[in-house]
Copies of this chain bind each other. A is one copy, B any other.
Amino acid sequence: MAIRYPNGKVYEQTQNESPKIKRQARKDISFSNRGKSLEDDLNETNEFYVAQGVANIYKKPVPIQIVKVEYPKRSAAVIREAYFRTPSTTDYNGVWNGYYIDFEAKETESKTSFPLKNIHDHQIKHMQAVIVQKGIAFFIVRFSTLNRTFIVPFQIIEKAWLEMDNGGRKSIPLCIFEEHAEELQLGIRPRIDYLQIVKKFVANL
């Protein structure tokens, strides 16, 4: 079913996607005709990992506050009033080879830097706690206009975040990604084989 935004854009939401990222993704499609969003690529990749027994990593459902549910006779319960809630954690987590894996995926249309406003305070706090518990935390960041995708250890993002809090810049320049992150090449099966880089992170622990 189509939803009309206040700005006149039509929005269609399919199963399992978060409205925020999809809104972004539709924009990408209409501007650049490039195809799948980062979220779609990651869902496909995680399904591949699960199917192959490589890892067990899932996107968490979007948290919803349910206010009103109808129970029609002879058909499924229908939620009639509900609201989006702010997640307390990151979007993706799971297990690979004994390691707890936790990450967040972000897209930006900027060609030069990744705006830190894309990241929320609760995500930083959550990842700091994950690191304390010896989990593996990282971001996957796509510069969608450039069609370049990076996997970034949490510590790089945290450093920029703390610097911003002390009056530093509000974005991370592309060159920092080129220097301190690993670029992910898109494939077919899986679409984004980010675990290959996670293995490198683990080897350097």
Residues of A within 8 A of B (CB): 1, 3-6, 11, 13, 15-16, 19, 50, 53, 55-56, 58, 60-71, 73, 76-85, 87-89, 93-100, 102, 126, 129-130, 132-135
Contacts and interface: CB of A to CB of B under 8 A. Distances in A.
A129 B81 contact: no
A64 B67 contact: no
Contact of A16 (B63, B69, B73, B97): B63
A53 B132 contact: yes
25 contacts: A3-B69, A5-B71, A6-B73, A13-B66, A15-B85, A16-B85, A55-B133, A56-B130, A56-B132, A60-B60, A60-B61, A64-B64, A64-B82, A76-B83, A77-B83, A78-B82, A78-B83, A80-B81, A93-B93, A95-B134, A95-B135, A96-B133, A98-B100, A98-B134, A99-B100
A68 B79 CA distance: 10
Given A62-B61, A89-B58, A97-B134, A50 B129 contact: yes
A102 B81 CA distance: 31
Identify the interface centre among A60, A63, A81, A82: most chain B CB within 10 Å of its CB: A82
B95 A100 contact: yes
A80 B80 contact: yes
Given A19-B69, A58-B88, A129-B50, A135 B79 contact: no
A181 B97 CA distance: 26
A1 B80 CA distance: 11
Contacts of A19: 66, 69, 77
Nearest to A62: B61
A88 B94 CA distance: 13
A129 B16 contact: no
A2 to B, nearest CB: 9
A102 B100 CA distance: 11
Contacts of A135: 56, 95, 98
